Each structure stands twice: as C-alpha cells, then as structure tokens.
Amino acid sequence: MGALIEAHDLCKTFGEIKAVDGISLKVNRGEVLGFLGPNGAGKSTTMKMITGFLEPDSGRASICGHDIQEAPKLAKANLGYVPEGAPSYAEMTPRSFLGFIAEVRGVWGDEVRQRIAAAAAKTGLEPVLDQTIETLSKGYKRRVGVAQAILHDPPVLVMDEPTDGLDPNQKHHVRELIKKMAADKAIIISTHILEEVEAVCTRAVVINRGAIVADGTAEDLLHRITYHGAVSIRVPTERSDAAIRLLKEAQGVAKVETLDKANGHIHLRALPREGALEAARVAAVLRAQSIPIDELYVERGRLDEVFRQITTSDDMKRKKSGEGATNA
Amino acid sequence: MRETLQNSWIIAKREFRAYFATPLAIVFLTIFIALTGAFAFYIGGFFDRGQADLAPFFAYHPWLYLLLVPAVAMRLWAEERKTGTIELLMTLPVSPLEAILGKFFAAWGFIGLALVLTFPMWITVNALGDPDNGIILTSYLGSFLMAGAFLAIGSFVSAMTRNQVIAFILAATIAFLFTMSGFEMVQNALKTWLPEAVSQAVSSMSVLSHFERITRGVVEAPTLVFFVSMIVFWLFATVIAVDQKKAE
C-alpha cells in the first residue's frame, strides 16, 4: 500500500501572493511529519489543501489513496483534522459536540458513548465533559479539538499547531498522545516550536515562501548547520593564544573561532574539516601542553539555528536571484 | 439521496439546538408571538371588523418577517466563518449542499415552531365565530413558504460576510425589495413610466402579491412554483457563496 498522505505539486495563489508553490510530500503509516516554517510560509494553506478545505489551483492531494477533491467523502472519512486554533461550537458541551461529530462520522447507538468516553479519556477531557465549551480554558478547548479529530480513530491525522498556546504540562500531554497514536497512523503536525520536532516527529519538512527547503529527520537537519560536530572549549584567557595555536594544528580541525571572553575565560570553537571532531582527541592535544580545560563538549547545533539558517539563506538567495532577474 | 438527507438531518438537529443554547430563541419566539398578536388586534382591527377570519393576523406577516427572518438567518454562516468552525464542518465527511440544507431546515423549522405557537389566534377565532379553516390553513402554508424564501435569501447573505450585523441588514434589504415590488404604491409608480409587461414581471417577482393570493385561499401552481424556486435559487447561490468565501 502506498503512502497514507500524498500531496503532489500543490499550488495556491491568493490574489498576487503565491502562498504555496509546488509542494509535494508523502507520509507513510507510522510517520509523524513535522511541518515547520516561519509564519506565513504556507503551512496552514498546505494543510487546508491536504484536508480538502481549500481547492488547490493545481496539483492534488489524497488521503488513504482517495483523492480529496474527486472523492472528498471517502478521503475525509479517513481523516481527523485539527484546524488552526482548534475551533469548536462554543455553545455546546464537549459531550454534545463529540456526539455530533460521532453522528456525522456515521457512529450510532451505544458506540457513540463508547467513542466519546475513549476520546475523552485519551485527551483528559473527562472532568469538563458537561460544561459548555465557551467556559473552558484554552488548554481544554484545544483538547476538545484533538478529541474531535481522534474520535473515529482515523488512519490519518492532520493537526495545525496542536500545542500552540498550551502550558508546558499540556504540551507534554498532547505530545505524549501523538506519540502513542503514531505507530499505526500517518500524522502531520505543523508547528514553529522546534523542540516539538525533536520530541515527537520522525521527520521534519521545512517550508519557506510556499516551497519545501528541507526534508529529513531532525538529525539530518542538524547536520546542515555549519558547526555541527564542532567542539567547544573553555580555557583560561592567559593560555588562549597557546590553545588556539594547538587547536589549529590539531588533526581534522578546519578553523578555530573565538566566541566570547568572560570572567578570565575564553570560549573557543574548533570547526571540523569534515564529519565530527572527537572530543577526547581535542582534549588530549590541549592536555599534552598542560592547558587547563574548564569545559569541553561536542556541538550538535540547535534546531532553531538550523531553521534560521535554512529560511534566511533561502530568502537571501531568492532576493539575489530576483535582483539578477531585474538586472538582466 | 438517503445519505444526503441523513447528513442534513444531523446538521439540522445541531443547528436547531444551537438556537436554544442562548435565551435568544425564547426572546425571538416571544417577540414574534407578541407582535403578530399586537398587529392583528391593534392595527388590523381584529375585533372591530366583525369578521371571523385571520386576515388581519396574516396581513402583517411579510412586514414582520422583513426584520425577524434575517435575524434568524444572519448567524447561519457568518458565525461559522467568524469562529472558524466552517473549517471543521467542511472537512467532515459532509458535502457543502448537505450542510447548507441542514442549516436552512433548522432555521425554517425554528420559524415553523414560531408559527405553530401562534395557535391561540386560531383557537380564538374559532371560539368567536365560524371561520373558513381551509383559508387559515393555506395562509399558514403561505406564511411558512414566505419565511422560507426570506430565509434562503438570509442564508446566502450570511455566507457572503463574516459580520452578522451586515448579514442582517443586507438580508433585510433584499427581502424588502422582493416585498415592495408588489406593493401598490410601487406598482403604480412603475406603471407610469414602464411598459405594462415590465411592471407585471416585477409584480410577479413579489413575495407580497403571491402571499396575498395564498391568504385569500387561492393555492395556485405559479405561487407554489414562485416560493419553491425562490428557495432553490437562493440556496444554490449559498452553495456558491460558501465555496467562494469559506476560506476568507
């Protein structure tokens, strides 16, 4: 069987603005795809096209092999969707709201109660099932949106910023929930919280200005950062010259950067020629000249720096090529 | 077909209950019953006419509906768009037509309930004299159909905006045009500077003239066709409006 979620060359223009410009992706069972990008990059628009809320100008999307535009009911029956802000009918109680969703999903009779109970248990909604939704806290409202999406246990889940605006405990809860469900579903979550990608996603796609600029695991993305595998060292300032000289001569080191000086210490970073530097070897080089080491660690890079590096360099490239085009 | 009805019914049930989630429904029903009664007794001269019929009661329905029906219809789509629930609704396995029909029938059912609750008028007139209950029945039918036509207009306008106040005003304006086109004063003015055929055509598009005919007990095909096609046309327009405007 093919991928549960497939998008092929999706494009959408709003007036003059090209919101999504040729996005293709596949998500298989067991995958949690993190959809990353700056605000306005086209994350939500892409999700709206995948879930069939918006019709793409060109391209197509399918859920479990059913084209979302050609066979919308079949595709949507296999889909659970949490739109941005997790909207729900404020005047209803979670119980009646979930009952309505169950009916629409073709669940009848006793099963309705069971499904509501199961979804409420998974999302921790039990204490508030009979309060009107408008009186609930933001965290509970968000959970109502998630409960609604998982009620029919769909093979495909699409969630637009499911943890936005939640407190750390609630975020943790939602992430645990996603992880638990991940094994037998294909899930897309959009987010701009990068720790979330490392926490729950098996794969991350970065989009910028409506196009995919990176696709891989969190680890793959980290490799893209220039100082991935570099070694950071803190030594006393009076020995800094010796340390820099030794590091430059050390095997496999391409460059040594001085990051900052504070409290009589200097913070250096040795960049590898390729791959990653071995911390033990770097330490040995310094110790051989009895330079005291206050701190030493291999840098992995942080995802938000990767994110910034990818999206801003992409912006600059576009800007340049745009200038080139106007000059020519 | 069966699936369409079933889904519409599920949506309609939810919508109908939503009316009663706030005191608004009770306020509306009270105002409707109080006003229809007040118009019949004080302006229509229900007692003074010395006739056992409900003509003075029904005569003011078009004018009441001008304000009350847009008030019922304004939230149908504008609210969904404003709160974003339209995105949820349109990604459920429900077609836009099913959602539109469901919402329309919920609102129509609500007006129907308001009409049914005016039954004391019917009891009163039957206690006082010996009215033609056939005419009363066709008048109720006409009133209900007219409400449906206004509601369909309101449904369309509500899908065009996310602001309920604008939806209300626009729906009332369009409904007013469809009512006034049959009003004697307008007809006379039209006849002075337009060919007879044109003023006739304008009049035949009037909710008022069709409603007056039906309240006299004349149930003709053109009248029924008029009301049904008004409803179908405006609901069809709603389908297009929802599709075009849902994401804005």
Quote ipTM for the complex: 0.88
Question: Closest-CA residue in chain A for B91?
Answer: A53
Q: Read off the pLDDT band of A328 (50, 70, 90).
A: very low
Share above pLDDT 70 across residues of chain A, in percent, rounded to a whole number? 94
Cα–Cα distance for residue pair B103/B107, rounded to 1 Å: 6
Pairing status of strand A253-262 against strand A265-272: antiparallel
Given an 8 Å threshold on Cβ–Cβ distance, is B246 in contact with A53?
yes
Q: Contacts of residue A77 in chain B, CB cutoff 8 Å? A: 93
Is the pLDDT assigned to residue A318 strictly greater than 90? no
Give buried/exposed letters for A316-325 (b at 16+ CB in 10 A, else e): eeeeeeeeee
Is the pLDDT assigned to residue B142 strictly greater than 90? yes
Is the pLDDT assigned to residue A325 strictly greater than 60? no
Residue B177's contacts (CB-CB under 8 Å, 6 or more residues apart) are: none
Residue B10 has its nearest CB partner, among A76, A84, A104, at: A104
DSSP count for chain B of H helices, then E strands: 14, 0
Is A73 part of the contact surface with chain B (CB cutoff 8 Å)? Answer: yes
Backbone angles phi, psi at B75, to 5 degrees: -85, -15
Nearest to A112 by CA among B15, B10, B44: B10
Cα–Cα distance for residue pair B66/B179, rounded to 1 Å: 8
Cα–Cα distance for residue pair A26/A7, rounded to 1 Å: 6
**A30/chain B closest Cα distance in angstroms:** 23
Question: Secondary structure of chain B: what % helix, strand, coil (to 5)?
Answer: 80, 0, 20
Given an 8 Å threshold on Cβ–Cβ distance, is B90 in contact with A100?
no
Instruction: Indicate the number of domains in chain B.
Output: 1
In words, the CATH class of domain A5-78+154-223 is alpha beta
Pairing status of strand A5-14 against strand A17-27: antiparallel
Strand pairing partners for A232? A269, A297
Residue B83 has its nearest CB partner, among A90, A106, A132, at: A90
Is the pLDDT assigned to residue A4 strictly greater than 70? yes
Token code pair at residue B35: 């006003």
Token code pair at residue A82: 């949490």
Place of tokens 């009661």: B57
Contact A284, A13 (CB under 8 A): no
Rounded mean pLDDT, B156-167 = 93
Is the pLDDT assigned to residue B157 strictly greater than 70? yes
Cα–Cα distance for residue pair B206/B177, rounded to 1 Å: 8
Cα–Cα distance for residue pair A261/A259, rounded to 1 Å: 7
Cα–Cα distance for residue pair A132/A93, rounded to 1 Å: 4
- Highest mean predicted confidence (pLDDT) among A227-241, B46-60, B174-188, B223-237: B223-237
Is A84 part of the contact surface with chain B (CB cutoff 8 Å)? Answer: yes
pLDDT of residue A89: 94
Is the pLDDT assigned to residue A272 strictly greater than 50? yes
Backbone angles phi, psi at A171, to 5 degrees: -60, -45
pLDDT of residue A321: 62
pLDDT of residue A191: 85
How crowded is the C-beta side of B14, counted as CA atoms within 13 Å?
A: 28
Given an 8 Å threshold on Cβ–Cβ distance, is A87 in contact with B92?
no
**B20/chain A closest Cα distance in angstroms:** 10
Return mean pLDDT, chain B: 89
Lowest mean pLDDT: which of A213-217, A273-277, B17-21?
Answer: A273-277
Is the pLDDT assigned to residue B162 strictly greater than 80? yes
Token code pair at residue B119: 């039954």
**B85/chain A closest Cα distance in angstroms:** 5
Q: pLDDT tens digit string along A207-230?
A: 988 898 888 887 787 777 767 778
DSSP count for chain A of H helices, then E strands: 11, 14
Residue B84 has its nearest CB partner, among A74, A83, A148, at: A83
Rounded mean pLDDT, B21-39 = 89
Is A272 part of the contact surface with chain B (CB cutoff 8 Å)? Answer: no
The domain limits of chain A are 5-78+154-223, 231-298
> How far from B115 is each of A64, B70, B142, CA to CA, in Å?
48, 16, 11
List the domain range (segments joined by +) for residue B32: 2-245
A2 versus A33: which is more confidently predicted? A33
Rounded mean pLDDT, B139-143 = 93
A154 versus A222: which is more confidently predicted? A154
Give residue B93's identity as a one-letter amino acid code. Answer: P
Cα–Cα distance for residue pair A51/A41, rounded to 1 Å: 18
Rounded mean pLDDT, A26-55 = 91
Is the pLDDT assigned to residue B40 strictly greater than 50? yes
Residue A87 has its nearest CB partner, among B14, B87, B247, at: B87
Is the pLDDT assigned to residue A163 strictly greater than 60? yes
Cα–Cα distance for residue pair A9/B107, rounded to 1 Å: 41
pLDDT of residue A1: 53
Residue A104 has its nearest CB partner, among B18, B85, B93, at: B93
CATH for the stretch A231-298: 3.30.70.2250
